[in-house]
Amino acid sequence: MAIKAETTFFLKDQLFNTRTVAELSSALSKATPQVNQRKFEQDILNKFPELELKARIDWMVTVLAQHLPGKFELALPILEDLLPPPLDPNKSDDDFGDFIWSVPGEYVARFGCTKPHLAMSLAFLKKSTMRFTAENSIRPFLRTFPKETMTFVRRCAKDKNYHVRRLASEGIRPFLPWAERANVEPDEIFEVMELLKHDRTRYVTRSVANTMNDLSKIEPHKVIAALARWQDKDASEIEWITKHALRTLIKQDHAGALSLLGYPTKPEFKLTNVQTNIQVQVGDDLVYQCSIKSNAQQNLKIALRVYYLKANGSHSVRVFAVKDLQTKAGDVIDVRKKISFRPITTRTLYLGEHYVEIVVNGIVRGKKTFELR
């Protein structure tokens, strides 16, 4: 039996709605007064109920094209005029912009990814990413004109505007959410990360960390080697990048990643007093308890690994952080971790046998079975 919560919130309606479409329409009518603003809005909104989030962006691009000159070189100046003011250049983080301003960049990605229009299109993406990230819009250019676009990306990495510098990283992420693959060679991505690793803004270094985390799924040893080389400068921010860049490998108990972060791969400890529910009702919590005695001075990263039953009878794994601490010989760490089994929209629960175990620096102990009812 499968149990899943009903969805009550839709991101597509939060981001693209009557208000945000009116904002785009108002800017368009100011840039080109002959546009029928009411028709533009109605053409878009009439089809919204049947469209998901990305399909709504595609549809807005289609409607926008119907209200712009057919020649790209004539439409582009209008797009430039309708852009809002750039995001605050004095901020250093969490200034993503409004999603409605993804539409001009996506228009350029659809109609401007041609050899004659390449230079003007990339120049526009540099402007638009200062209003809303062009990380998705740049990808068709990376696939169609890889050499020219990577030259542009390397220039962006040295730009004075941190939104433009972030585009150099986020635009070439191997596994950017919601986006098609950019198909950039890992070695080229590493070169750009070298340019950005000491960036002064967290918005950029977070992107560097995310890109390195993506690369760790392709070239784990190269990622660890690069991060190891970075350790001798700008220690605090490099340390932050390193932790976030290695998060996937740490969940996989990768020995090289653990060692780089200072966790011994053969920790000295003793596990006792393991207790957990043998049955969990849907809506209740699994409670896992144990005691860990450290037998040395060492850094310990403690996590709980839960094996969720799937429809086909196999299990999927989720890792939950428990504690991250430095211990002395003789220290005893009491662990008590609750895992909720309330239905949520992003996970389907299946009744039956599940498993849970404790993981200390990649060493698995204390496996227990419980039944979800």
336 HSE (CA, 13 A, CB side): 1
Q: Whole-angstrom Cα distance, residue 16 to residue 23?
A: 10
Per DSSP, the three-state class of 260 is helix
Residue 172 has pLDDT above 90, yes or no: yes
pLDDT confidence of 345, banded at 50, 70, 90? confident
For range 33-43, the mean pLDDT: 93
Q: Whole-angstrom Cα distance, residue 130 to residue 118?
A: 19
Q: Whole-angstrom Cα distance, residue 130 to residue 164?
A: 7
Q: Whole-angstrom Cα distance, residue 56 to residue 54?
A: 5
Residue 44 has pLDDT above 60, yes or no: yes
| CATH among 3.40.50.920, 1.10.1200.10, 2.60.40.10, 3.40.50.300 for 269-372 | 2.60.40.10
**How many residues make up the chain in this entry?**
373
Residue 135 has pLDDT above 70, yes or no: yes
| 204-263 confidence digits (pLDDT tens) | 999 999 999 999 999 999 999 999 999 876 578 899 999 999 999 999 999 999 999 999
Q: How many CB atoms lie within 10 A of CB 85?
A: 7
Pairing of strands 363-372, 352-360: antiparallel
Tell me whether residue 183 is exposed, middle or buried, using C-beta atoms within 10 angstroms of its C-beta: 0 to 12, 13 to 18, 19 or more: exposed
pLDDT of residue 7: 54
> Are 246 and 260 in contact, with CB atoms under 8 Å apart?
yes
Q: How many CB atoms lie within 10 A of CB 81?
A: 12
> Are 373 and 282 in contact, with CB atoms under 8 Å apart?
yes
CATH topology for 68-260?
Answer: 1.25.40
Residue 174 has pLDDT above 70, yes or no: yes
pLDDT of residue 227: 96
- CA 319 to chain CA centroid, nearest Å: 18
Q: Which residues pair with 271 in a beta bridge?
A: 292
What letters, b where the CB count within 10 A reaches 16 and e where it falls short, cover 258-285? bebbebeeebebeeeebebbeebeeeee
For range 283-289, the mean pLDDT: 94
pLDDT of residue 94: 65
pLDDT of residue 1: 63
Q: Which residue has the higher pLDDT, 232 or 291?
A: 291
Mean pLDDT of the chain: 93
Question: Which range has the worst mean pLDDT, 7-11, 172-176, 283-287, 295-299?
Answer: 7-11
Q: Whole-angstrom Cα distance, residue 22 to residue 16?
A: 10
Q: How many CB atoms lie within 10 A of CB 60?
A: 26
At 85, which helix (H) or strand (E)?
Answer: none
pTM of this prediction? 0.88
pLDDT confidence of 93, banded at 50, 70, 90? low
Delimit the domains of the chain by residue range.
Answer: 68-260, 269-372
Residue 67 has pLDDT above 80, yes or no: yes
Cα-Cα-Cα-Cα torsion 270, 273, 274, 280, nearest 10 degrees, comes to -160
Residue 5 has pLDDT above 70, yes or no: no
- Helices 186-196 and 162-170, packing angle to 10 deg: 160
